[in-house]
Structures are given as structure tokens and as C-alpha cells.
Amino acid sequence: MTAWRDPAARQGMTRAGGVDLPGEVAAMVALNELVVHGWDLARSTGQAYEADEASLRVSLAMLTPRDDIPRPDIFGPPVPVPSDAPLVDRAIAMSGRRPDWQPGG
């Protein structure tokens, strides 16, 4: 985690999955992966999941469709949740997952 705190870690260009992108975008993508797949792992193993508010806000912003930035096709369609749902539920729902999903359900 210390390496990501250095602003230089998010500067310049990088390449991931055959795609060139700014380091700042790559950092957001990496953080979103940790948030969403961390939730996946916790939920599927019956564990509690907690993420800090800043990370959840980055994920929600990245996943929310915008007119000027197309939403990646790698996510399912957003799942409707109430506008006052917890931030974690809103971010997870925007990734195409049901926040109320439970193993075996």
C-alpha cells in the first residue's frame, strides 16, 4: 500500500491487459478490483465486508454510467437499489451484482 501513496505511482502511462492507460486510471481500476472482488470473496465465504468510504466512492464513480465515458462491457447491467442504500450496496449494485446476494441463495 505504501507504493500507491506516492503520487508518482499514478503518473505517466501504463499498460494492463493489452490496453494503454494513464497511471491514474490504472490506479482507479486496481482499487475497484479490490473493492468489488473483495466483496465477492467476503460474501461468498459468509464473512463481513468493510471498505473505506473513499475506496467505495472511487468504485461507485468509476462504475456509474456517464454520457462522456462509456461503461465497460465487462460489468453486468446495474442492479436497482434505493438511492439511500448504503454506499457499499450502491457500488456493488453498479457492478451488476445484487448486494443482498447470499451463498446458496
pLDDT exceeds 80 at position 72: no
With residue 27 as reference, give the H or E element that holds it.
helix 23-44
> What domain count does the chain have?
1
| Residue 101 counted as domain residue | no
- For all residues of the chain together, what is the average pLDDT? 89
Least confidently predicted of 7-11, 18-22, 65-69, 75-79: 65-69
For residue range 28-49, list pLDDT tens digits in order: 889 999 999 999 999 999 999 9
DSSP E strands: which ranges in 10-79? Answer: 13-16, 19-22
Q: Which domain holds residue 12?
A: 2-94
Query: Interior CA angle at 105 toward 65 and 44, to 5°?
Result: 70
Given pLDDT bands bounded at 50, 70 and 90, which one contains residue 66? confident
Q: How far is CA 50 from CA 36, 56, 61, 88, in A?
A: 11, 10, 18, 8
Q: Quote the DSSP letter at residue 14.
A: E
Give domain status of residue 10, yes or no. yes
15 inside domain? yes
pTM for the complete prediction?
0.84
Q: Is residue 78 part of a domain?
A: yes
In a domain, 73, yes or no: yes
